[in-house]
Amino acid sequence: MNKLKVLAAVTSALCLAACGGSTRGPDGAVAPSGSEPAAGAPGTLDLVNTAGGVEGSYAAGEGRITFRSAAVGGDVDIQVTLNGLVLDALVRPADGVSTMDGFAAATGTDTQLVDQDRELLSGLYQALNAVSREALGDAGVYLRRAVGLWAQHPTTVDLRRLVMGDQGRGYTMLCSYAKCGGAWTGSCGTYNWYSYAKHDCNWGGTSVVNNQQIAQLGDHYSCSGDEWYWNNGWVCGEPDHWARPYVVGNCFGRCGGGCGGDTQYTLDATNHDGCVRNGHALASLYCDDQFTAASDDELFAPDCY
């Protein structure tokens, strides 16, 4: 068995912040003070390759997670434990089907994730993002995707659910929209503006212009856990229900939190980003439907590059 220890910087805030990118704005100006990614407390990932997959633990401060993921026939069996909770997933990649569950370790009763759970899971997700696909193997990649999903899981969505994915029906790929200036990453010489990231909420339905953003998808800028938006010049922050603002940064449209280890850009992930970055918190009730719609994208959509 191979053992790998990784030190990962863990952000304390729950957001879809990019881990990479530039702190210069889209117009080339240096980002304003305070727009650099915030440094967080370091976490330690202890990852062991097994005959069937991976297992190990992650620790950050007083928090600790143990995990395992193993290929069993055509399935991937995943279990993650933290804060007295057990999170389970049985993923069947060939069929695009996964059963997911969560319960109290001591009693087996139903439970939900809260902010401190999501924060710890977000740290594990970032640590797994620092490990190559080759080192993780297939079982490890599905572990990373499941952890990324749980790290964003709203308290108001049941942990026990069935996730089904089918390209063209369950998820729609937007790979070409993630390029600007002909490249997947880096500064944009020219923009490839996607139509609208849409959500519905207390402001109204998806047709309301205040619930829409015109976004450049892809790994092209970052600033302080937010994005750049146009307001007579590029500004680092988050417009709150403006009428179709132009936005770019922090891997808009990418499955998972920020610029993760996988490179899936999809329609549902774009709409989820458009909700949580438009005046709503990550675990907002108003973004539940976007989260559930994007779940199969994160688990099953292929990488764009």
pLDDT, tens only, 82-117: 999 999 999 999 999 999 999 999 999 999 999 999
Q: Which helix (H) or strand (E) is 110 found in, with range?
A: none
Q: And the tokens for 147?
A: 């952890």
Given a contact cutoff of 8 angstroms between Cβ atoms, the answer to whether 159 and 101 are in contact is yes
Q: What is residue 304's predicted lDDT score, i.e. its pLDDT? A: 96
Q: What is the pLDDT of residues 147-203, one digit of tens each?
A: 999 999 999 999 999 998 765 567 899 999 999 989 999 999 899 998 689 999 999
Q: And the tokens for 295?
A: 């779940």
What is d(CA 263, CA 303) in angstroms, rounded to the nearest whole number?
Answer: 5
What is d(CA 283, CA 276) in angstroms, rounded to the nearest whole number?
Answer: 8
What is d(CA 243, CA 215) in angstroms, rounded to the nearest whole number?
Answer: 13
Which letter does DSSP use for residue 303 in this model?
A: P
**Mean of the per-residue pLDDT values for the chain?**
87
Q: What is residue 260's predicted lDDT score, i.e. its pLDDT? A: 86
Within this chain, do residues 121 and 220 fall inside the same structural domain, yes or no?
no
Within this chain, do residues 151 and 232 fall inside the same structural domain, yes or no?
no
**b/e map 189-201, b = 16+ CB within 10 Å:** eeebebebbbbbb
Q: What is residue 169's predicted lDDT score, i.e. its pLDDT? A: 61
Within this chain, do residues 78 and 122 fall inside the same structural domain, yes or no?
yes
Given a contact cutoff of 8 angstroms between Cβ atoms, the answer to whether 125 and 148 are in contact is yes
Q: What residues contact residue 40 under an 8 Å CB cut-off, 6+ apart?
A: 9, 10, 11, 12, 123
Within this chain, do residues 89 and 211 fall inside the same structural domain, yes or no?
no
Domain assignment of residue 35, given as a range:
3-164
Q: Which residue has the higher pLDDT, 142 or 26?
A: 142
Residue 169 forms part of a structural domain: no
- Residue 218 pLDDT > 90, yes or no? yes
Q: What is residue 283's predicted lDDT score, i.e. its pLDDT? A: 81
Q: Is residue 17 very low, low, confident or very high in pLDDT (cuts 50, 70, 90)?
A: very low
Within this chain, do residues 144 and 213 fall inside the same structural domain, yes or no?
no
The domain boundary, picked from 126, 141, 164, lies at 164
- Residue 296 pLDDT > 90, yes or no? yes
CA 287 vs CA 9, 44, 157, 268, 293: distances in Å: 27, 31, 10, 11, 10
Within this chain, do residues 121 and 236 fall inside the same structural domain, yes or no?
no
Residue 118 forms part of a structural domain: yes
- Total structural domains within the chain: 2
- Residue 9 pLDDT > 60, yes or no? no
Token look-up 């069929």 returns 95
Q: What is residue 225's predicted lDDT score, i.e. its pLDDT? A: 72
pTM of the full structure: 0.87
Within this chain, do residues 210 and 254 fall inside the same structural domain, yes or no?
yes
